[in-house]
A = this chain, B = another copy of it.
Amino acid sequence: MSIENLSCNKSFNGWHKQYRHYSEQLNCTMRFAIYLPPQASRGERVPSLYWLSGRACTDENVMQQAGAQRMAALLGIAIIAPDTSPRGDMVADDNSDALGQGAGFYVNATQAPWHRHYRMYDYVLNELPTLVESMFPVTDRRSIAGHAMGGHGALVLALRNPHRYRSVSAFSPISNPVNCPWGKKAFGAYLGTDTTAWADYDASLLMQKARRFVPALVDQGETDNFLTEQLKPDTLKAAAHLSGYPLTLNRHEGFDHGYYFIASFIEQHLRFHAGYLAR
């Protein structure tokens, strides 16, 4: 498995690094970033938090704008940030903001032309952790978090794979994609018109029938432009109520959809995950 280091920056006495590698799942070259806290340079193996970004983002948004490294360094947690879709000239694309490169929606596409590359679900669930855990001093204790489309991805991955993740958190997640314009557009293209296949990728539908729980924390800004039409946190809350799911949903007056919101509450998310990763 060939892998190329692209950048390396010291950050809070740990290291931020970007890598490029060939992904078998995605059938293309991918970039990801990892933040290794200082504990990892002192011979310790550290647990990891996967961060799934939103539409049109790459690994760089969270690493540059969330301010997560300070607490990751303090708590001894590695952060791994994959890209948001397969990319490249050979990879199918779309001009829409909810489909194509930068908007993989963390699904395994079944429909042409998407199925040749768009397998972000398996990439994040298996291929990337296998690579990371073989290369870096990280344990197999994993948590997962994300923003918007990435919040959807984090919740779906945790809800379907409770044995793989200790905890899950999200900022402004797309909570019920089968019922919002972005989700319908993406799922229709990636998964086809038979909507029964969509349920496996809908956090609200998964949460309401969940039997095995991964503790979940969700933060949502009240002045998020996408709140009502696209994100639907109330649907997630209702689903949690039905199954007795351990979901903490915080709503924040005045906060919007972007990284200024995320940076304001990232400390609480890191501390939340640390409480489960340490066990």
Contact = CB atoms under 8 A, between A and B. Distances in A.
Interface of A: 9-13, 16, 64-65, 67, 69-70, 221, 223, 252, 254-256, 258-261, 263-264
B9 A261 contact: yes
A251 to B, nearest CB: 13
Looking at A69, A252, A256, A264, the one whose CB has the most chain B CB atoms below 10 A away is A264
Contacts of A64: 64-65, 259
A243 B64 CA distance: 39
Contacts of A65: 64-65
Nearest to A14: B264
A164 to B, nearest CB: 30
Given A12-B263, A69-B264, 18 more contacts: A9-B256, A9-B258, A9-B260, A10-B221, A10-B223, A10-B255, A10-B256, A11-B261, A12-B264, A13-B264, A64-B65, A64-B259, A65-B65, A67-B67, A67-B70, A69-B260, A69-B263, A70-B263
Contacts of A12: 263-264
A264 B252 CA distance: 27
6 contacts: A9-B256, A9-B260, A10-B254, A10-B256, A12-B263, A69-B264
Nearest to A12: B264
